[in-house]
A = this chain, B = another copy of it.
Amino acid sequence: MSEEFDDPWADAPTRNSRQVEDVYELNDESDVETLMRQPMKAASAIDSATIDWLQEDAFERSRQQRLHSIHGVQGLLAQLFDTWRIWFITVMTGVGVGVIGAWLDVLVRWLSDLREGRCEYGIFYNQVACCSGLDPGEDCTQWFSWSKWFGIEAIFVQSLLQASIYNILAIIFSSSAAVLVVVYAPFAFHTGIPEIKAILSGYVFDEFLGPWILLIKSLGLALAVSSGLSLGKEGPLVHVSCCMALFIARLFRNHRPNETQKRRILAAAAAAGISVAFGSPLGGVLFGLEELEHFANDSDIIWRAFVTSVIAAVSLQYIDPFGTSKLVLFQVTNGDETWRAFELVPWFFLSVIGGVLGSLLIKLNVAAAVYRHRSILRDYPVLEVIGATAITGCISYLVVFLRVQTSELVANLFLECDPAKGDYHGLCNPTASVENVFLLILTALVKIGLTAWTFGMMIPAGIFLPTIAIGACIGRAVGLMVQGLHRSYPALWIFSACPPDPSVRCVSPGFYAVIGASAMLGGVTRMTISLVVIMFELTGALSHVLPIMISVMVAKWVGDAFGKEGIYPSWIALRNYPWIPSNEYRDGGETASSILVPFKNLVTLEAEGLTIPQLKQLLKSHDYHGYPVVTREKELIGYVTRASIKTIICQCNPLSIIFCFPLNASVPAAYSSQDSERVYGFVRRNEGPSNNSTNLDQYLEEAAIQLKREVPLELVVNTFQKMNIRYIFFTRHGRLEGLVTKTDIVRLLRSHIPNAGDLEREKSMYQSR
């Protein structure tokens, strides 16, 4: 592309849009050390900034106008390029996410199998690839367990060796993941969804989505999942997808997307991440709608998310890592069977359990995170991971359902027993029902504890799959109990809807596992409609969509009774990200007066007669994102950002013209070295500039919403939620009475959450303005 299209504003929004109210400066050496240890705290310290959507729109508008002002064929091409760039990014993101998803599947499969044995053909084959091409029933002689490979005969030594390699490899995998994360990409830890939520709502946190994060998180994720820790790869895939999207968008050097476009691309990428994680393209779009909220207002974003999700799913299906050429991951076999009304009772029971245990898991997880943060563990993240892996490995090796890969466990819990297909670790043995119920409940309880601890360690970790597994165990257990009851007392009146022939299956424990998983996920994430769609795209149980819906419904109700926040908002509150939940807010009769910062506490600029040293002093002494401009009579003139003031100062230094020019293309043409003391003023446009000052009205922000201080608090919150702005002025008869910023609203909405901000640094910088 010719230089003509180069966009001087391309980077400006980011630079202009730091909200300095949230920035805590690094004071000394020890802070830098803390920074290295605690990446997320560092994040909020380094880069706490939210964009102002109105301002972003203004940038976009001026860019568009510049684009349309180019004449001739070149102009047409530039416009065409501009339109197709975003679609190119959309399509490429979809393909990229599909490829990464498939690659992760293959890698995880191989690493997991490696813990058990190796293939005769070579170490890089997984068990399925090694044993492919066999007739059904034929034994696979090419796959060797480690004890067989080393030719060990004694059964005790066999078991010991097998268990040792199993656990040692697990520790190697997880510690590699932890080292990778701690050393190279601290932001790659955890699920990433809380941060994506905050970013989509306007938080500027570009370091979170760098290309290194993409690489380390994908690799670390595969290692962490293979290590057998109680974590999943579904949530982090959303983070990986977003990194991928931004990586592709950055290929356009001269045409980087602005902050608004970036968020649209990210929203689509997040949807694609879920689409690939669960093989659920619609679920991905709905997840974006419900959980990421940001794009609920814009059908254009929904549409783009839809396209990205489709393409990601098509790519995954095309690559076909499991050789099934199907998107449905955990196929439920009896999709065609109908359910009976009496089953609603155990399902209701399951849903209540899901809601309760989901809340419990959230609370345990938050407590674990806070404890880790305050204890000595904070200083030894890698050791903590190694310890957790060792403990997980030891416990898991004892219980058969804990030992297997979580995804394999879930797949089998969802399946109905079919004598033709064999038994899965005795799960289908009708004589061992009691033992199975005990084992399943034990598995669920252990997994709750392990997951609560694991989700938050310094490795990439998702909470979806462990939660599904916990729910599936409990569901299957309840299903087995009901089935046992039916087998023992087929004549009971509650079973009157069952077919009279007792050999025909009436109760399907596999579907109870699906219900349990839905309820548990509902309790943890508080998702509703997207969860239902994901669950039935995951299992293919279209005819059972109604009970799934009911279970999610009940689980959410029960969970909400123990605390309104799901796992992601809880973590956002812990981290204190500037994120406003979209839930309806009801005040108790308060008005805006109760939270506004009154005029006397505001740092304002006087509209008439400013000198450069005054401006410099202001920037030095007050570290805010911007300043209201008022006349001597307190009349509001407008709002000027810190960045704009810097530009004004810059103009007066002839040497710096070269450096500061790109910041604003419309600086006045004439300069003189006497300007260093030049008098500036923001004056009423209709009254013309006064003699001794230059009019600076062009530096005022265009879109400043004014309200009266008597408006209900509810309306103020609502305006922030819907308009995505950063501040509202409160005026009376034109005179500024006060200001409310996004930070005030965030603090207001977070006031009821315990532990809010606990994982952030102390707010020594928080003082009254």
Chain A: residues with CB nearer than 8 A to chain B?
Answer: 54, 57-58, 61, 64-65, 68, 281-282, 285-286, 289-290, 293, 296-300, 302-303, 306-307, 310, 313-314, 317, 325-328, 338, 528-529, 532-533, 537, 540, 542-543, 545-546, 549-550, 553, 582-584, 586-589, 631, 635-638, 684-686, 702-708, 710-712, 714-715, 718-719, 722-723, 731-735
Contacts and interface: CB of A to CB of B under 8 A. Distances in A.
A540 B540 CA distance: 10
A338 B318 CA distance: 12
Nearest to A300: B584
B546 A537 contact: no
Nearest to A582: B299
Contacts of A306: 528-529, 532, 549, 553
Given A298-B584, A715-B54, A546 B281 contact: yes
A532 B284 CA distance: 14
Contact of A711 (B326, B702, B731, B735): B702
Nearest to A310: B549
A628 to B, nearest CB: 13
Contacts of A706: 705-707, 731
Contacts of A313: 546
Nearest to A715: B703
Contacts of A685: 732
B542 A314 contact: no
Contacts of A733: 631, 635-637, 684, 734
Contact of A296 (B65, B296, B735): B296
Contacts of A583: 299-300
Contacts of A732: 684-686
> Which of A286, A718, A733: most chain B Cβ within 10 A?
A733
A325 B338 contact: yes
A553 to B, nearest CB: 6
Given A328-B543, A542-B328, A733-B636, A293 B299 contact: yes
Contacts of A703: 707, 711-712, 715
A712 B281 contact: no
Contact of A710 (B296, B636, B702, B705): B702
B542 A537 contact: yes
Counting chain B CB atoms within 10 Å of each CB, the highest count among A57, A293, A528, A703 belongs to: A703
Number of copies of this kind of chain in the complex: 2
Contacts of A587: 61
Contacts of A57: 712, 714-715, 718
A689 to B, nearest CB: 16
Contacts of A718: 57, 723
A310 to B, nearest CB: 5
A589 to B, nearest CB: 6
A704 B708 contact: yes
A549 B685 CA distance: 53
A297 B734 contact: no
B542 A542 contact: yes
A343 to B, nearest CB: 13
24 contacts: A57-B715, A57-B718, A61-B586, A68-B588, A282-B533, A297-B297, A297-B722, A302-B529, A307-B553, A310-B546, A313-B546, A317-B546, A325-B338, A327-B546, A631-B733, A635-B734, A637-B733, A684-B733, A702-B715, A703-B715, A705-B705, A706-B706, A731-B734, A734-B735
Given A297-B296, A338-B325, A550 B310 contact: yes
B528 A302 contact: yes
A637 B293 CA distance: 36
A529 B271 CA distance: 13
A528 B306 CA distance: 8
A549 B731 CA distance: 50
Given A584-B298, A702-B715, A705-B707, A285 B529 contact: yes
A545 B282 contact: yes
A757 B757 CA distance: 55
B715 A545 contact: no
Contacts of A712: 57-58, 61, 702-703
B290 A302 contact: yes
Contacts of A533: 282
A61 B299 CA distance: 30
A326 B336 CA distance: 10
A712 B703 CA distance: 8
Contacts of A719: 705, 723
Contacts of A293: 299
A55 to B, nearest CB: 10
Contacts of A532: 282, 306
Given A289-B289, A326-B543, A684-B732, 12 more contacts: A57-B718, A290-B299, A297-B582, A298-B582, A302-B529, A306-B528, A310-B553, A327-B543, A327-B546, A328-B542, A684-B733, A704-B707
Contacts of A586: 61, 64
Contacts of A549: 281, 306, 310
Contacts of A310: 546, 549-550, 553
Give the interface centre of A54, A58, A715 by most chain B CB atoms within 10 Å.
A715
A465 B537 CA distance: 26
Contacts of A314: 546
A532 B537 CA distance: 13
Nearest to A706: B706
A186 to B, nearest CB: 32
Contacts of A722: 297, 722-723
Contacts of A543: 326-328
Contacts of A64: 586
A542 B731 CA distance: 56
Contacts of A61: 586-587, 589, 712, 714
Nearest to A306: B529
A58 B713 CA distance: 11
A395 B715 CA distance: 59
Nearest to A591: B702
Contact of A589 (B65, B328, B589, B707): B65
Sort A-B residue pairs by CB-CB distance and give the 9 closest, nearest first. A734-B734, A706-B706, A722-B722, A310-B549, A296-B296, A733-B734, A635-B733, A306-B529, A703-B711
A537 B707 CA distance: 47
A415 B293 CA distance: 39
Contacts of A636: 733-734
Nearest to A587: B61
A619 to B, nearest CB: 25
Q: Most chain-B CB neighbours within 10 Å: which of A290, A635, A722?
A: A722
A546 B313 CA distance: 8
A248 B708 CA distance: 39
Given A61-B714, A542-B328, A706-B707, A303 B734 contact: no
